[in-house]
């Protein structure tokens, strides 16, 4: 049997049901890979071997009982039963750590499960641990984690993207077939693109946020990472739906076809015929790498050859998306992070009077990027500036959404665009220039501002590194986007790049390999000479 870690989740599920492999075997294989590589990748903040094996044994018990019940009982089992999965370290897991990548939550143990954790437990998924992330999800590289950066399995001196870089790297490195991320301005889709995997940001409200550490509440959304569209769709199906504990979660029904994408490449490719896709000219931004643009335009031609119609369209307010986002998101972060004061949440540093204690607690607990965004947000919300900045940004946000709405009215099934204007960049390249870092999300931010679903899928390599193709849909069209993604996978199934694995997995397995922090430090020293 092939290496168990190289299988897709739906292939693992078939083996589990047949009894050819056990969840304990699957879990042990993935735990071994994660533990072996984590020094070099730092994708995981915690790996809970003991808990994972207990959950795997419970899944094996459910599978054995179902096999005794016959085919009908087996058919009713949940697709994720016995499948290993990783959670971004801002998802509450009862009894487990939940740091959100910050020192201010170091040592915190969640007293309850997030709703998506409850759903994953119901489905029988096996949670291996918590993955690294930019502090409070503020970043595009996972270099802003208080616990050190994460490395990209394709190039250990480069970033995996962010803020969900740990979750993306863990899937790309075959530590798990599935993981959970969050996307506030591109933090699922951008790392999916840079790591060469699939990542979906659902419609705002599709997945409940109860038990998720907040960054910007009107933008945050939970979504799946996987190595193909079928697995990502199955994971979204498992976690989506209404929760009364989250007033922003929608009662919109979760379509059953999310868990039933075609297994046949012919059927998947046929679904592309007759689709009308828009190609927004504004998404080919200044500074886009030529290799990235070339791969995206090749993907567009492949979709056209498969029977889709692609038309150039305009989203005229896209150019305002970056500025608008960096008013709205920091403003909401400033309000959300006010609770970490050493009295209600976070460690308490006694330095004198109440104000001194407050400043010491937040000064030591928050990293520089979080402080920068709190200051920006507090300024935008301050007296005399609210109308000039925050209120105006919300009005522009409405115009951004209206641009998309006009295209849905015209009958477009989806939009196709780049996910990231560049491939993975080297550690430290953008840390000294926050604006350059913020531009990493220029192609993904408008989707969050409009509350729409978007998915990134691999579409080839540039300079040996992955490039992502982004598909954007109308509200609640996740199933349709997954269908398009599955169709693209089918028509490119024989492409040479499909068979390639991340090029530095062997180096990552070296027990003496430098850590990402050591690599980052070495690059900084060499760059200063």
Domain ranges of the chain: 4-262+275-320+397-524
pLDDT for residue 384: 86
Give the mean model confidence (pLDDT) for residues 349-360: 85
Q: CA–CA distance from 66 to each of 56, 73, 186, 295 (Å)?
A: 15, 5, 40, 46
Q: Structure pTM?
A: 0.97
Q: Mind listing the pLDDT tens digit for each residue in 238-293?
A: 999 999 999 999 999 999 999 889 999 999 999 999 999 999 999 998 889 999 99
Q: How many CB atoms lie within 10 A of CB 235?
A: 30
Structure tokens at 472: 């954007």
Residue 1 has pLDDT above 70, yes or no: no
CATH of domain 4-262+275-320+397-524: 3.90.1300.10
Q: Is the pLDDT of residue 528 over 70?
A: no
DSSP letter string, 381-449 = HSTTTIIIIIIHHHHHHHHHHHHHHHHHHTT--EEEEES-SSSPPBTTTTTT-HHHHHGGGTTTHHHHH
With tokens 């969640």, the residue in question is 110
- For the stretch 47-67, pLDDT in tens is 999 999 999 999 999 999 999
| Token output for 488 | 């693209």
Are the beta carbons of 140 and 440 closer than 8 angstroms?
A: yes
| Per-residue confidence band for 147, with pLDDT thresholds at 50, 70 and 90 | very high
d(CA 123, CA 438) in angstroms, rounded, equals: 37
Catalytic residue positions, numbered: 88, 163, 187
pLDDT at residue 109 in the model: 95
Q: Which of 27-41, 201-215, 361-375, 423-437 has the lowest mean pLDDT?
A: 423-437
């Amino acid at each position: 049997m092939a290496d168990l870690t190289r299988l897709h989740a739906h292939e693992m599920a078939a083996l589990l049901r047949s009894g050819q492999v056990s969840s304990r075997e699957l879990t042990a294989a993935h735990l071994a890979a994660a533990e072996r590589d984590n020094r070099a990748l730092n994708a995981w903040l915690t790996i809970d071997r003991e808990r994972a094996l207990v959950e795997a044994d419970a899944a094996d018990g459910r599978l054995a009982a179902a096999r005794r019940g016959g085919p009908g009982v087996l058919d009713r089992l949940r697709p994720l039963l016995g499948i290993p999965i990783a959670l971004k370290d801002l998802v509450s897991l009862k009894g487990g750590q939940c740091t959100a990548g910050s020192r201010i939550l170091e040592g915190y143990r969640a007293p309850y499960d997030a709703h998506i954790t409850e759903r994953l437990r119901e489905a029988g998924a096996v949670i291996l641990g918590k993955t690294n992330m930019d502090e409070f999800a503020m970043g595009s590289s996972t270099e802003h984690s208080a616990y050190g950066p994460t490395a990209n399995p394709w190039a250990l001196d480069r970033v995996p993207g962010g803020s969900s870089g740990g979750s993306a790297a863990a899937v790309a490195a075959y530590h798990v077939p599935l993981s959970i991320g969050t996307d506030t301005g591109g933090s699922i889709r951008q790392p999916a693109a840079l790591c060469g995997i699939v990542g979906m940001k659902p419609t705002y409200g599709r997945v409940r946020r109860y038990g998720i550490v907040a960054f910007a509440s009107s933008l945050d959304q939970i979504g799946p990472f996987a190595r193909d569209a079928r697995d990502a769709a199955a994971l979204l199906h498992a976690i989506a739906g209404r929760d009364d504990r989250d007033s922003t979660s929608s009662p919109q029904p979760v379509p059953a076809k999310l868990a039933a994408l075609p297994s046949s490449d012919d059927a998947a490719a046929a679904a592309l015929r007759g689709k009308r896709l828009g190609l927004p000219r504004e998404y080919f931004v200044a500074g886009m790498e030529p290799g990235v643009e070339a791969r995206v335009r090749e993907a567009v031609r492949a979709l056209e050859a498969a029977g889709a119609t692609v038309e150039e369209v305009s989203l005229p307010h896209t150019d305002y998306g970056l500025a608008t986002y960096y008013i709205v998101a920091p403003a909401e972060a400033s309000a959300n992070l006010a609770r970490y004061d050493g009295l209600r949440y976070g460690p308490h540093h006694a330095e004198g009077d109440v104000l001194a204690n407050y400043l010491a607690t937040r000064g030591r607990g928050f990293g520089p990027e979080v402080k920068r965004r709190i200051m920006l947000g507090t300024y935008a919300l301050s007296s005399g500036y609210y109308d000039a900045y925050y209120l105006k940004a919300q009005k522009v946000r409405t115009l951004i959404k209206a641009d998309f709405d006009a295209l849905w009215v015209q009958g477009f099934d989806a939009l196709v665009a780049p996910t990231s204007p560049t491939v993975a960049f080297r550690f430290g390249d953008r840390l000294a220039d926050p604006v350059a870092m913020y531009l990493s999300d220029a192609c993904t931010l408008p989707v969050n501002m409009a509350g729409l679903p978007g998915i990134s899928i691999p579409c080839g390599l540039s300079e040996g590194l992955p490039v992502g193709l982004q598909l954007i849909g109308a509200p609640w069209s996740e199933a349709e986007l997954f269908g398009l993604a599955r169709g693209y996978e089918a028509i490119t199934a024989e492409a040479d790049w499909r068979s390639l694995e991340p090029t530095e997995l062997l180096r990552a397995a070296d027990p003496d390999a430098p850590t990402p922090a050591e690599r980052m430090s070495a690059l900084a020293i060499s760059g200063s000479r």
